[in-house]
A and B are shown apart, each in its own frame.
Chain A
Amino acid sequence: MSAPLQQRPARRWRSRRRTRRWAGWVIDIAIAAVALGPILWGLSTSLKPAPDILAYPPEFIPSRPTLEHYALLFRTGIHHFVLNSAIVSTAAVVLSLALGSLAAYALARMAFTGKAAVMFAVMALMSIPLPSVLVPTFTLLASIGLTNSLTGLALLYTAYQLPIVVWLLYGYFGTLPVELEHAARIDGCTRLQTLRKVVLPLSGPGLVASALFVLTFAWNDFVVAVVMTSSEDVKTLPVAIYGYLGFYGRDWGPLTASAMLSIVPVIAVFIAFQRYFLSGMTGGSIKG
């Protein structure tokens, strides 16, 4: 008599949990569909032969898949623009991490006059909308002769992204146990060696997060590149994609194919570094 009475609430609870799990799945799938839908549609379009692209009814999985659009892109030299984007993005990532980690370490661990002002400036810089400084930046860049150059673009991306990198790394360095740095100093490291041998190796997640911020910005940027550059040989990928839109009118094939090409490296980098987002790198160093 008493056994079923005890079981019933448990069973009800279990079924409620199952419902909740199903609801969770449905919501997850809906969100994924909204986020991934356009990308997958673009991928599908890029693989269809030109006549099928606007056919009705549309087919999601191409019945006659082709790589002709990709072939066209490479014949017209898209790899050149991919390379430009890669050079500029890599330079921006390396520069902003190198400068940002020095600045962030000084802010996190050293006492100096004007520190609060520097922190405030870093914060304030992050809130300035990029388009509002385009024209003065162009004038500035022109006066030092760096318009229409990859160097100029890399420096600009570094400048735009440095505040967020400093801010992220400042926060991350603050979470590291300061005793490790004291130990390194006593073991004979200078401040710079301490940063290089102890702080940076333990800051993987912070460095990766910062690098991804800079990378996605630099890789995807259109507006800065289109303003600061004009000639073909320094064109970056997003600007080139825009060019395809212009040159080929409503020819969706090359357009979606180039968009796919531009997405792939960023996705690859995210997948490669996702384990660094998981923290816990400092486990075991500090007891108590």
Chain B
Amino acid sequence: MTSVSFTGVRKTYGDAVALEALDLSIAPGEFVALLGPSGSGKTTTLNLLAGLIDADEGEIRIGERVVNDVTPDRRDIAMVFQNYALYPHLTVFENLEFPLKARDRRVSAAEVEQKVEKVAATLGLAELLHRYPKELSGGQQQRVALGRAMIRDPKVFLLDEPLSNLDARLRIRMRRDIKALHEAIGSTIVYVTHDQAEAMTLATRIAVFSNGRLQQFATPAEIYSRPANLFVAEFVGEREPVLLEGVLTGGSGRMIFETAGGMLTLDGAVRHLDALAGRRVVLCLRAEAFRAGREAGEGDPATVKLVELSGPDALLTCALPGGAEICVRAEPNAGFARGDGVWLRALPDRIAAFDPQSGTALCRWE
């Protein structure tokens, strides 16, 4: 288990800035997801850590050692590539033993065989050891790639979108396997993905990137409920939250939010918004920020415009009297239908506020 840190790391390609002054410190044994859209700097960060590209400025450490000038073969890392990068001229066995033999010529055949068999058994590859990569399915190739990384005991595992080429079901299964693997071996893992669901389910902490900048580095729960800015708020979550711009009034836990499209009563524990009374803000309203009820007097009245059923719950698109639309999660058995009246009640601690100009979070969480 080893820590990893980036201090003031910058990388440019010609005039294009790929990564801007990155400070990131990963604790030993953490599973960190680098999350962002393509071109956000997450893969650049991973390649810098792997030593496949050199930083223009700043310092990269693996453990206590500064690795800026250390070649990839001497960094003691393992990596799983998006396209697996299995050696096509070698069998599964030879692919798995490759990292052992490349590092130490004198390693004994018996030891190699024992390690390969152990990894193959863990990943269910025992029957495939004498096949070539092209004779394997996508999922099997993926497991070989994982095995080749696991065969040694590297300081850090780097995974570059390892699941993006698998079909949806297999991806969810492999997600569980990777999580179980991390819990079993406890190594430091840095995992690049553009899939926020993958990042949320796997990581102990998520680093969200956009335009070459680190936007937020926090636990999945915090990233989701307390996003540092509007970009993070919009990027994370199964569906985009509703963003409404307006003015907050009131205080001490009871506030009114006035927008062009209507008025919302924010009851209950919204103390984190107290300091913002009288300010113009953008509110990030996720579907689970409200409870939809039929009893009058609970919160604000609205009309159901659309009902989307998804197994565990129903998603209602509701319109406030002024026209603003809000998405709300509801019990699928509640039987809401288009045109029904509904009362929306804001739930505590679920609403984040942002500055309309800069997009940065304004709330003071306790």
A interface residues, Cβ below 8 angstroms from B: 177, 179-180, 182-190, 193, 197-198, 201-202, 281-288
9 contacts between A and B (CB under 8 A): A177-B85, A182-B85, A187-B102, A188-B73, A284-B88, A285-B86, A285-B88, A288-B83, A288-B165
Residue of A nearest to B90 (CB): A201
- A180 CB contacts on chain B under 8 angstroms: 85, 87-88
Residue of B nearest to A286 (CB): B83
Q: Are B134 and A284 in contact (CB under 8 A)?
A: yes
Q: Are B81 and A179 in contact (CB under 8 A)?
A: yes
Q: How far is the CA of A283 from the CA of B84 in the complex (A)?
A: 13
Q: Contact check: which of B50, B81, B102, B141 meets A188 at CB < 8 Å?
A: B102
Q: How far is the CA of A285 from the CA of B132 in the complex (A)?
A: 9
Q: How far is the CA of A150 from the CA of B362 in the complex (A)?
A: 82
Residue of A nearest to B47 (CB): A182
- B255 CB contacts on chain A under 8 angstroms: none
Q: Are A187 and B148 in contact (CB under 8 A)?
A: yes
Q: Is B82 an interface residue (CB 8 A)?
A: yes
- A286 CB contacts on chain B under 8 angstroms: 83-85
Within the complex, the shortest CB–CB distance from A191 to chain B, in Å, comes to 8
Q: Contact check: which of B72, B73, B79, B133 meets A285 at CB < 8 Å?
A: B133
Q: Are A193 and B88 in contact (CB under 8 A)?
A: no
Q: Are A284 and B86 in contact (CB under 8 A)?
A: yes
Residue of B nearest to A190 (CB): B73
Q: How far is the CA of A288 from the CA of B51 in the complex (A)?
A: 24
Chain B 120-137 interface residues, beta-carbon cutoff 8 Å to A: 132-136
Q: Are A193 and B102 in contact (CB under 8 A)?
A: yes
Specify which of A180, A281, A287 lies most central, judged by the most chain B CB atoms within 10 Å of its CB. A287
Q: How far is the CA of A283 from the CA of B141 in the complex (A)?
A: 13
Q: Is B78 an interface residue (CB 8 A)?
A: yes
Q: Contact check: which of A185, A282, A288 meets B73 at CB < 8 Å?
A: A185
Q: Is B231 an interface residue (CB 8 A)?
A: no
Q: How far is the CA of A286 from the CA of B138 in the complex (A)?
A: 10
Given contacts A186-B72, A187-B102, contact A285 B50 (CB under 8 A): no
Q: Is B239 an interface residue (CB 8 A)?
A: no
Q: Is B99 an interface residue (CB 8 A)?
A: yes
Residue of A nearest to B135 (CB): A284
- Shortest 9 CB-CB contacts between residues of A and residues of B: A284-B134, A285-B88, A188-B103, A188-B102, A179-B85, A187-B99, A185-B72, A183-B85, A284-B133
Number of interface residues of B (CB under 8 A): 34
Given contacts A177-B83, A187-B148, A284-B133, contact A202 B103 (CB under 8 A): no
- A177 CB contacts on chain B under 8 angstroms: 83, 85
- A284 CB contacts on chain B under 8 angstroms: 86, 88, 132-136, 141
Given contacts A179-B83, A186-B73, A186-B78, contact A287 B165 (CB under 8 A): yes
Q: Are B52 and A287 in contact (CB under 8 A)?
A: no
Residue of B nearest to A180 (CB): B85
Given contacts A185-B73, A190-B73, A288-B83, contact A202 B89 (CB under 8 A): yes
Residue of A nearest to B76 (CB): A188
Within the complex, the shortest CB–CB distance from A260 to chain B, in Å, comes to 38
Within the complex, the shortest CB–CB distance from A91 to chain B, in Å, comes to 27
- B132 CB contacts on chain A under 8 angstroms: 284
Q: How far is the CA of A183 from the CA of B164 in the complex (A)?
A: 18
- A185 CB contacts on chain B under 8 angstroms: 51-52, 71-73
Within the complex, the shortest CB–CB distance from B152 to chain A, in Å, comes to 8
Q: Are B83 and A186 in contact (CB under 8 A)?
A: no
Q: Is B224 an interface residue (CB 8 A)?
A: no
Given contacts A185-B71, A185-B72, A188-B73, contact A197 B83 (CB under 8 A): no
Residue of B nearest to A280 (CB): B134
- A182 CB contacts on chain B under 8 angstroms: 50, 52, 72, 79, 81, 85
Q: How far is the CA of A177 from the CA of B158 in the complex (A)?
A: 19
Q: Are B86 and A186 in contact (CB under 8 A)?
A: no
Within the complex, the shortest CB–CB distance from A199 to chain B, in Å, comes to 11
Q: How far is the CA of A283 from the CA of B51 in the complex (A)?
A: 27
Q: Are B82 and A288 in contact (CB under 8 A)?
A: yes
- B87 CB contacts on chain A under 8 angstroms: 180, 183-184, 198, 285
**What mask results when residues 63 to 74 of chain B are scored 1 for a CB within 8 Å of chain A, else 0?**
000000001110
Q: How far is the CA of A286 from the CA of B78 in the complex (A)?
A: 18
Given contacts A284-B134, A284-B136, A287-B141, contact A186 B84 (CB under 8 A): no
Given contacts A182-B50, A182-B72, A287-B141, contact A197 B102 (CB under 8 A): yes
Within the complex, the shortest CB–CB distance from A106 to chain B, in Å, comes to 16
Within the complex, the shortest CB–CB distance from A284 to chain B, in Å, comes to 2
Q: Is B256 an interface residue (CB 8 A)?
A: no
Q: Are A186 and B135 in contact (CB under 8 A)?
A: no
Given contacts A179-B83, A198-B87, A201-B89, contact A189 B102 (CB under 8 A): yes
Seed contacts A184-B102, A186-B50, A186-B72; 4 additional CB < 8 Å A-B pairs: A186-B158, A189-B73, A284-B141, A286-B85
Residue of A nearest to B81 (CB): A179
